[in-house]
Structure 1
Amino acid sequence: MALNPNNFDPATRRELFAWCMYDFANSGYTTVILTAIFNAYFVGVIAAERGSGDATLLWSITMAAANMLVLLSAPVVGAIADYSGAKKRFLTVTTIGCVVFTALLYFAGPGDVTLAVVLVILATFMFASGENLIAAFLPEISTPQTMGRLSGYGWALGYFGGLLSLALCLAYVTYAEKQGLEAAEYVPVTNLIVALLFGIAALPTLFWLRERVDVSESFDSTHLIRAGFRRLGDTLRHARLHTDLFRFLLSLTVYYAGIYIVIVLAAVYAQEVMGFKTQDTIILIMVVNVTAAIGAFLFGHLQDRIGSSRCIAITLLIWIAAIVCAYFATDEWLFWVAANLIGTALGGAQSAGRALVGQFTPAGRQGEFFGLWGLATKLSAIIGPLTYGGMVYIFEGDHRIALLSTLVFFIVGLMLLATVNESRGRKLAYLQIDKASGIYSR
């Protein structure tokens, strides 16, 4: 493999737009399937016969299984994509896979637990793998000075994509309820809406985003897999030379566990604790998407001025305040305050975290390092929801007590973040490792 000499040529505006559009395209899956509608539908309808505690735990286990697949595969897939110059092809496959499996969720109705679990695992695996791959393009099309801003633009546009998905679903749900249809009849259609919007909105990315790696020779699949594991092994062996990257990934793993609890179980909490109906939940998540887009945009600009790690620290403080509000909320107004604080912090934390990994990534290893980022986030997606689901099960359906686990993740994550030296991590990204000595050189 040889890096294209034009690898760091400025990307065109069309290409930057195409990169951001993938956040717009795939956000409907997170917003509708994982956060607002299908997760609550799974607990309240598909697995309703098992009871709220068991159904919540089963949903948490489903999310854990999907993310375990990503956790095991992401770094190696990223390394293979770097080695073969195939990030774009991998991205195309995962996009098509997520669209197809999401559409097939239409056929999961009351009692179809096995079908729903299998399809959600497959769709989530494809979604998460694509999320890692699109992030790996960020260091190629941006500079350290603009990386935070571009990441923020992508997340902001993504939240508007989620908002559009929710708006279309809300319009259909409102129409269906006026026709006297039950949730088991209209919720499956929302899966088709998400799949269709994802497929259409991803087309600019798949057509316009350019692969910036040339392959100097052809490799068979066995050789590529070996090469992928070898590159990953090199990175892990030299972990001590990527001190700040791995310290940040540890911090991210912890605080993202709290974020994933909110993403995966917010609608379930609103439904089971606050008594929200489907329409109420959709409106809530729509408002949160607006505040999240604002947060991503504002923090995207701020992190280029004060640094990504400081921005993340600010968002974690906001997260802590939001969880405290949600815990004490007995009336809707305080829960709405918590929801909007969560939206602001969510957008900022996600955009700043992605940008910081990009700033710590050496040239030519984008897929590999963002695979490590994916490994960390998906480990979080296993730990967080399983912790919450387990606590709900142990405390016999008490979601308020389970919410306290979220607070712990954010506090510990903030403490670990304090050990990261952002300036040093950026400098190391511009140096190369001498494999024999393990010493960096320019």
Structure 2
Amino acid sequence: MSVSTPQQRQLQRRWYWNDLGVTGYLTVTITVLLGPYLTTVANAAACPGQPTDQTCRTNLHVLGVPIAPGSVVPYTLTAGTIVAAVLLILGGAIADRARRPARLLAFFASVGSLAAMGLSLVTGTRWGLGVVLAMISTVCIALSTSVYNAIMVRITPAEDRDRVSSIGWSFGYIGGALLLIVALVLLGVHDAVGLSTTGAVRVIFLLSGLWWAAFAWYSATGLGSVRNQSPTDSLAAALRAGLSQLRATFGEIRRYPQTFRFLVAFLLYNDGIQTVISSASLYGNRQLGFSDNQLVLTILWVQIVAFAGALGFARLAARFGSQRSILYSLAAWTVVVTVAFFLPRGAFLLWLLLATGIGMVLGGSQSLSRSLFSHLIPSGEETKYFSFYQAMERGTSWFGTLLFGLIFQWVHDYRWSILTLVVFFAAGAAILRTVDIRAGIAAVGNQVPATLR
């Protein structure tokens, strides 16, 4: 049962729509199409004339550093998320002092969506342009989502955050599913409308960026009444205060050992989750031989299952608690990654069964982590601490993507890259088991919710 006021529920309804927009872009462009497409462009630059279904073993070079074409996308995501991790801490400190945080949400979404639309210009051997644009969109996703998460705390009572967070994730999966349907239709009829497969993918890149921009702006305009508690009028004053708070944050977080321990656990297991998400299409296309249509269909199925999974995990958390429910999901992630290693090439039905398992746990593990963390941070400093959180969520899975890319560069086989992700789930679960949630909530001065198990 909701404990939010009617005014809060009205704001929450507008808040949900941002998730629908950004997750649509993340799902279609980042999760499904960017990996195979940009890898093909990089292969064309390194091994011109070679069939696309063969592994290119000629390296590209960036500032004299050799890079395998098959590792370009993991390295790009790694670089983008490292930059995001640095900017998130400073950006969060500034956002805490912004008079209207919804304006920051709109700004970051605008810049990111323009970069997303720019991916439609990546053709031939222009892999460098694709790398730069993908990095910009990755950074902006992280920054905008940090502000978005902090706004949730402003408009939602503590007892209601599990519900609101889960609905937000569910909106995201709806957005991903709808945009996937558009992509699936366009890929299916591209010949009839005079487009090549490559041309259809570029059009989808453009549509995905527009989708993100439209729903982010709709959400932000409905949240204009949300104010921070200690607003600063001047941008220069906000920057000075942000730099000062940046220095203090590193010392402050040590005062809350349970919060810090949760963040370490989250860093580990979320790196595994985000790397599976961002690398699934690359693995399916290059290692298992599935087409773009099959990959879109797969992720569409994941969205359908994940919508129910996010809501189902909210009920699971109500019965067993968020911490235990997250641990259950991490056990399932370990099984999924291990099975993926042994999956034979071309076994699409088995691939779909594996996707079902991912969908069942994807929404729950992420939405409950966001909600649980919201209880472990001091009131009034939400954006600053959510910046740390966001640096370990959608914006920073750089340990996992870096390892994924390095393993492929060494052995030219994505199976071993995917199997190494087991260590992130195992280590994250081991640390999460040691977190005392009640002690952590009390330490930051928050009231322990009656719904906590």
What TM-score, normalized to structure 1? 0.91
Aligned-pair distance for 1:421? 1.1
Larger mean CA deviation between 165-174 and 227-236 belongs to: 227-236
Match of 1:386 in 2: 402
Match of 2:376 in 1: 360
Match of 2:273 in 1: 259
Aligned-pair distance for 1:282? 0.3
Work out the CA distance in 1 between the residues paired with 2:414 and 2:165: 33
Aligned-pair distance for 1:110? 2.1
Residue 361 of structure 2 corresponds to residue 345 of structure 1:
yes
Asked if 1 retains the 8 angstrom alpha-carbon contact of 2:187 and 2:201, the reply is yes
Work out the CA distance in 1 between the residues paired with 2:138 and 2:232: 33
Aligned-pair distance for 1:412? 0.9
Residue 324 of structure 2 corresponds to residue 324 of structure 1:
no
Work out the CA distance in 1 between the residues paired with 2:425 and 2:396: 12
Residue 83 of structure 2 corresponds to residue 69 of structure 1:
yes
Deviations 1:368-418 (A, max 9, x none): 01001022236741111110111011012x111111111111111111111
Unaligned stretches of 5+ residues in structure 2 = 47-54, 58-67, 448-453
Matches within 5 A, 1:35-46: 35-46=31-42
Aligned-pair distance for 1:341? 0.9
Larger mean CA deviation between 73-82 and 326-335 belongs to: 326-335
Work out the CA distance in 2 between the residues paired with 1:285 and 1:66: 23
Residue 283 of structure 2 corresponds to residue 269 of structure 1:
yes
Matches within 5 A, 1:126-275: 126-178=140-192, 181-209=195-223, 210-215=225-230, 218-221=233-236, 223-275=237-289
Aligned-pair distance for 1:335? 2.3
Aligned-pair distance for 1:84? 3.0
Of 347, 355, 375 in structure 1, the residue corresponding to residue 391 of structure 2 is 375
Larger mean CA deviation between 169-178 and 44-53 belongs to: 44-53
Residue 134 of structure 2 corresponds to residue 115 of structure 1:
no
Residue 305 of structure 2 corresponds to residue 291 of structure 1:
yes
Matched residue type, 1:146? D
Q: CA RMSD in A?
A: 2.0
Percent of pairs identical after alignment?
27
Match of 1:439 in 2: none
Matched residue type, 2:286? E
Aligned-pair distance for 1:427? 1.9
Asked if 1 retains the 8 angstrom alpha-carbon contact of 2:75 and 2:402, the reply is yes
Matched residue type, 1:355? S
Residues 68, 380 of structure 1: CA spacing in aligned structure 2 closer, same or farther, 3 A cutoff?
A: closer
Residues 75, 305 of structure 1: CA spacing in aligned structure 2 closer, same or farther, 3 A cutoff?
A: farther
Residues 52, 366 of structure 1: CA spacing in aligned structure 2 closer, same or farther, 3 A cutoff?
A: farther
Unaligned stretches of 5+ residues in structure 1 = 1-7, 433-442
Residues 116, 336 of structure 1: CA spacing in aligned structure 2 closer, same or farther, 3 A cutoff?
A: same
Asked if 2 retains the 8 angstrom alpha-carbon contact of 1:85 and 1:213, the reply is yes
Deviations 1:254-295 (A, max 9, x none): 111111221111001111122100100000000011111111
Matched residue type, 1:20? Y
SS of the aligned residue for 1:146 comes to helix
Work out the CA distance in 2 between the residues paired with 1:334 and 1:215: 54
Residue 407 of structure 2 corresponds to residue 411 of structure 1:
no
SS of the aligned residue for 1:212 comes to coil
Matched residue type, 1:242? Y
Residues 335, 228 of structure 1: CA spacing in aligned structure 2 closer, same or farther, 3 A cutoff?
A: same
Residues 212, 279 of structure 1: CA spacing in aligned structure 2 closer, same or farther, 3 A cutoff?
A: same
Residues 48, 256 of structure 1: CA spacing in aligned structure 2 closer, same or farther, 3 A cutoff?
A: farther
Residue 395 of structure 2 corresponds to residue 399 of structure 1:
no
Work out the CA distance in 2 between the residues paired with 1:78 and 1:179: 45
Asked if 2 retains the 8 angstrom alpha-carbon contact of 1:149 and 1:301, the reply is no
Match of 1:425 in 2: 440
Work out the CA distance in 1 between the residues paired with 2:291 and 2:191: 12
Matches within 5 A, 1:11-50: 11-50=7-46
Matched residue type, 1:232? L
Work out the CA distance in 2 between the residues paired with 1:73 and 1:200: 24
Residues 379, 130 of structure 1: CA spacing in aligned structure 2 closer, same or farther, 3 A cutoff?
A: closer
Residues 345, 431 of structure 1: CA spacing in aligned structure 2 closer, same or farther, 3 A cutoff?
A: closer
Asked if 1 retains the 8 angstrom alpha-carbon contact of 2:330 and 2:365, the reply is yes
Larger mean CA deviation between 300-309 and 69-78 belongs to: 300-309
Work out the CA distance in 2 between the residues paired with 1:207 and 1:183: 36
Asked if 2 retains the 8 angstrom alpha-carbon contact of 1:48 and 1:55, the reply is no
Work out the CA distance in 2 between the residues paired with 1:9 and 1:425: 27
Alignment coverage as a number of residue pairs? 423
Aligned-pair distance for 1:183? 2.6
SS of the aligned residue for 1:145 comes to helix
SS of the aligned residue for 2:383 comes to helix
Larger mean CA deviation between 210-219 and 312-321 belongs to: 210-219
Work out the CA distance in 2 between the residues paired with 1:11 and 1:415: 41
Aligned-pair distance for 1:220? 4.6
Work out the CA distance in 1 between the residues paired with 2:432 and 2:229: 36
